[in-house]
Amino acid sequence: MATLVYLEHHDGELVKGSLGVLAKARQLDDEPAAVVCGSGVRELAAEAGRYGAARIHVADDVALEAPLPQPRVDVLASLVSEQGFDTVLFGASVLTADVAAALAARLGAGLNWDLVDLQVRDGELVGTRPALQDSVHVEVGWSAEPRLALVRSGTFDPVEAGGDADVVDVAAELEDFSRRAVMVESAHAESEGPSIEEADVIVAGGRGLGDPEKFGLLEELAKALGGAVAATRAVVDAGWYPYAAQVGQTGKNVSPKLYVACGISGAIQHKVGMQSSGTIVAINKDPNAPIFEYADLGVVGDLHEIVPKLTELVRGRKSA
Amino acid sequence: MKVVVCVKEVPEASARTRIDPGTKRLDRGGAAALNPFDAHAIEEALRLVAAAGDGEVVALMMAPEGAADSLRKALAMGADRAVHVADDALAGSDLVATARVLAKAVEREEADVVVLGQQGSDSDGAVLWSALADLLRLPVVSQAASLELADGKVTVKRQTEYGYDVIESPLPCVVAVSDAINEPRYPSLKGIMGAKKKPYESLAASDLGLAAEEVGEAGSRTVVRSLSEPPARGDAVRIEDGDGDAAEQVLAFLVERKLL
Ligand SMILES: Cc1cc2nc3c(=O)[nH]c(=O)nc-3n(C[C@H](O)[C@H](O)[C@H](O)COP(=O)(O)OP(=O)(O)OC[C@H]3O[C@@H](n4cnc5c(N)ncnc54)[C@H](O)[C@@H]3O)c2cc1C
Ligand SMILES: Nc1ncnc2c1ncn2[C@@H]1O[C@H](COP(=O)(O)O)[C@@H](O)[C@H]1O
């Protein structure tokens, strides 16, 4: 196998998700290569080596400074064709999903996404993808090379392999259309807001709350249970609750003892941030909501009725 | 202002979706509906044209013939025209094969903006726009939580793993919108009646100049090998709040699990 792992970086460090994929790549291929694209990123090569890359291709160019997908596709398309990589792996993120899909189109290649495992079986690469709200596991493959894959976020942990990577410079020759979108403001972590990662109990709310004021109901319940309040992306994007309290793929990963989901549909991108919670209770009025597929206790009903009652009952029990 | 909005049909939420063990494709035999995420894309397309003062919204769908009702829903919401690419040769198209079909159909329209939804509720792919934009050689911005159009360019705010980005792109461009961007309107009775009279174009793969080996299974480089049950979960409990005692039952559950 000739494997290439795309390494994403943020704030001067390689991100954990891509290093986890690199660790997986080493199980499939003794000497996986990696690629990092950005501006001032050459110093990340040492870290790539330490986490298992045998060779690191570095595309260091000011035109790659903003974390936008299209310039990266240009770099990867020539790299993959020129070096003859047969497998290209990505840890899924907002950026890499866009890079991988465009690269597949450019190369006429197959892309499998949301993989939770990769194995070589009888000489063939096989991916595992949970589908239909994770109710079925699909074994997926590729009928031609290069084989492209996006790995579900948080699937593999990085492993320090302790080596040195050969560093190879890559030129960034960009298509005109790839440079048209520009980033006028780049994401900065918003530090204000509650801290939810340490909480033993989380009461989380989604669009089913109906309006931002209703977060008050959840704050009351959280207080009674001695926990923190969290939210879905839908309500954070709508400005109902701070980004710092968001759970999911583009928010926090949490694993409290108890997670109470109120008015949350339970999309995969939310699930990846809270599935390792000890006990999951879901209150949703739609009996078909995907969250019921993985809640330990599913309550089909109106949160506006149930949550205040539950708060009273919890208070009563605690004061008894 | 011409906006093409790409919509797909998905199994209805209440339908027991499954993958056909024989064909290993999604069993599309059950009740189907317009992908709920795409209602946000239609809404945003309508808003773009309304803000521009005049123009046209074209709803584009690649799906079997039977999906016409889902596409008509886009017309009922207010889209002006529908383009339906339906062809047996398209069955089994993966991401890239689908993108090829949509790219050819979009090219005929010379749109200013191509709008897509956040994800298919069946595929959870959230990737198609980027493949489409690459084939069209257009700039792409995804995950738009807000979208503004002024001076011939769009400004998009979107959430990533680190907070919020702001991205600008000149027209023409491809934009995928998040489900937080708007509240989709419901089709009015008048809209539903009117939808029947709106232009509805049906196309085959060959109408788009696509060769058989570029689309469908032949044009796809991903394969489904087998299906299996995921590892069993512990026994989940389900209660319906019929008698209004759900809160009591939740409390009892928490006590039993020693969480209180
Ligand atoms: C790349 C990417 C990254 C993403 N990252 C994240 C992420 O980090 N975190 C995240 O959460 N999402 C994320 N999403 C979005 C995700 O796909 C969903 O769109 C989002 O989680 C939906 O939020 P929600 O459950 O609040 O809203 P909805 O899906 O609208 O669900 C609302 C639910 O409330 C229920 N409801 C309504 N009224 C009541 C009532 N009175 N009582 C009880 N229930 C009621 C409804 O039945 C419904 O199920 C991401 C998406 C993408 C594509
Ligand atoms: N067959 C299709 N026809 C038209 N648009 C589609 C089709 N499949 C996906 N889309 C669009 O692409 C978006 C993302 O889909 P996906 O990448 O499948 O999750 C959807 O929200 C639709 O806007």
Q: Which residues on chain B are in Cβ contact (under 8 Å) with A114?
A: 124
Q: Which of A94-108, A140-154, A176-190, B103-117 has the lowest mean pLDDT?
A: A176-190
- B191 inside domain: yes
Q: Is the peptide bond before A146 cis (omega within 30 degrees of 0)?
A: yes
Single out the residue of A161, A145, A148 nearest to residue A6, CA to CA. A148
pLDDT of residue B7: 98
In sequence order, the β-bridge partners of residue B163 are B160
What are A26-38's pLDDT values in tens digits? Answer: 999 999 999 999 9
Residue B11: pLDDT band with limits 50, 70, 90: confident
CA angle, residues B94, B97, B99, in degrees to nearest 5: 105
Cβ contact (<8 Å) for B126 and A250?
A: no
Cβ contact (<8 Å) for B169 and A181?
A: yes
Instruction: Kindly report the nearest CA distance between residue B43 and chain A, in angstroms.
Output: 16
Say yes or no: A95 contacts chain B, CB-CB below 8 A.
yes
- Ligand 1 mean position, distance from CA A94 (Å): 17
Among A76-80, A267-271, B21-25, B30-34, top mean pLDDT goes to A76-80
- B49 inside domain: yes
Mean pLDDT of A303-317: 97
For residue A77, report the phi and psi dihedrals to the nearest 5 degrees: -60, -45
**B93 Cβ inside 6 Å of ligand 2:** no
Q: Which residues on chain A are in Cβ contact (under 8 Å) with B138?
A: 177
DSSP A85: -
Measured distance CA(B141)–CA(B176) in Å, rounded = 6
Q: Which of A168-182, B7-21, B187-201 has the lowest mean pLDDT?
A: B7-21
For residue A194, report the phi and psi dihedrals to the nearest 5 degrees: -70, 155
Is 80 exceeded by the pLDDT of residue B229? no
B27 or B151, greater pLDDT: B151
**What is the best residue among B9, B34, B35, B44 to mutate for testing ligand 2's pocket, by most ligand atoms within 8 Å of CB?**
B35
**B26 Cβ inside 6 Å of ligand 2:** no
Work out the mean pLDDT of chain A and round it to a whole number: 95
Mean pLDDT of B238-248: 88
**What is the best residue among B3, B5, B7, B73 to mutate for testing ligand 2's pocket, by most ligand atoms within 8 Å of CB?**
B7
Domain ranges of chain A: 3-179, 201-319
Measured distance CA(B204)–CA(A167) in Å, rounded = 49
B252 or A162, greater pLDDT: B252
Is 90 exceeded by the pLDDT of residue B227? no
- B246 inside domain: no
Strand A124-131 to strand A117-121: parallel, antiparallel, or no bridges (unpaired)? antiparallel
Interhelix angle A69-83/A94-107, nearest 10 degrees? 50
Cβ contact (<8 Å) for A93 and B225?
A: no
Q: Which residues on chain A are in Cβ contact (under 8 Å) with B125?
A: 113
Domain containing B119: what range?
A: 2-214
pLDDT of residue B163: 92
Measured distance CA(B251)–CA(A270) in Å, rounded = 25
How many distinct structural domains can be found in chain B? 1
Residue B23: pLDDT band with limits 50, 70, 90: confident
Q: What CATH number matches the domain at A201-319, 3.30.420.40, 3.40.50.1220, 2.40.160.40, 1.10.150.530?
A: 3.40.50.1220
Across the interface, of A140, A243, A296, the residue whose CB is closest to B224 is A140
Q: Which of A129-138, A154-163, A272-281 has the lowest mean pLDDT?
A: A129-138
- B238 inside domain: no
Q: Domain containing B182 — which CATH number?
A: 3.40.50.620
Strand A33-38 to strand A3-7: parallel, antiparallel, or no bridges (unpaired)? parallel
DSSP letters spanning B108-162: TT--SEEEE-S--TTT----HHHHHHHHHT--EEEEEEEEEEETTEEEEEEEETT
Cβ contact (<8 Å) for B220 and A183?
A: no
Mean pLDDT of B234-255: 89
Across the interface, of B99, B163, B223, the residue whose CB is closest to A141 is B223
Is residue B85 helix, strand or coil?
Answer: strand
Which pair of structure tokens corresponds to residue A280? 């999951």
Cβ contact (<8 Å) for B222 and A140?
A: yes
What are A198-246's pLDDT values in tens digits? Answer: 999 999 999 999 999 999 999 999 999 999 999 999 999 999 999 999 9
What are B36-88's pLDDT values in tens digits? Answer: 999 999 999 999 999 999 999 999 999 999 999 999 999 999 999 999 999 99
pLDDT of residue A277: 96
Q: Which of A310-319, B26-35, B58-67, B165-174 has the lowest mean pLDDT?
A: B26-35
Work out the mean pLDDT of chain B and round it to a whole number: 93
What are A101-158's pLDDT values in tens digits? Answer: 999 999 999 999 999 999 999 999 999 999 877 778 899 999 999 999 999 998 999 9
**B8 Cβ inside 6 Å of ligand 2:** yes
Residue A311: pLDDT band with limits 50, 70, 90: very high
Mean pLDDT of A159-169: 92
Say yes or no: A192 contacts chain B, CB-CB below 8 A.
no
In CATH terms, the superfamily for domain A3-179 is HUPs (3.40.50.620)
Reading phi first (left if > 0) and then psi (alpha if -120 to 50, else beta), residue B118 is in alpha
ipTM over 0.90: yes
B140 and B128 in contact (C-beta within 8 Å)?
Answer: no
What are B43-54's pLDDT values in tens digits? Answer: 999 999 999 999
pLDDT of residue A136: 83
pLDDT of residue B125: 87
**What is the best residue among B42, B65, B124, B128 to mutate for testing ligand 2's pocket, by most ligand atoms within 8 Å of CB?**
B128
pLDDT of residue A191: 61
- Ligand 1 mean position, distance from CA A267 (Å): 6
The interface residues of chain A toward chain B in range 25-64, judged by CB-CB distance below 8 A, are none
**B117 Cβ inside 6 Å of ligand 2:** yes
Measured distance CA(B163)–CA(A105) in Å, rounded = 28
Is 80 exceeded by the pLDDT of residue B235? no
Is 90 exceeded by the pLDDT of residue B19? no
**B119 Cβ inside 6 Å of ligand 2:** yes
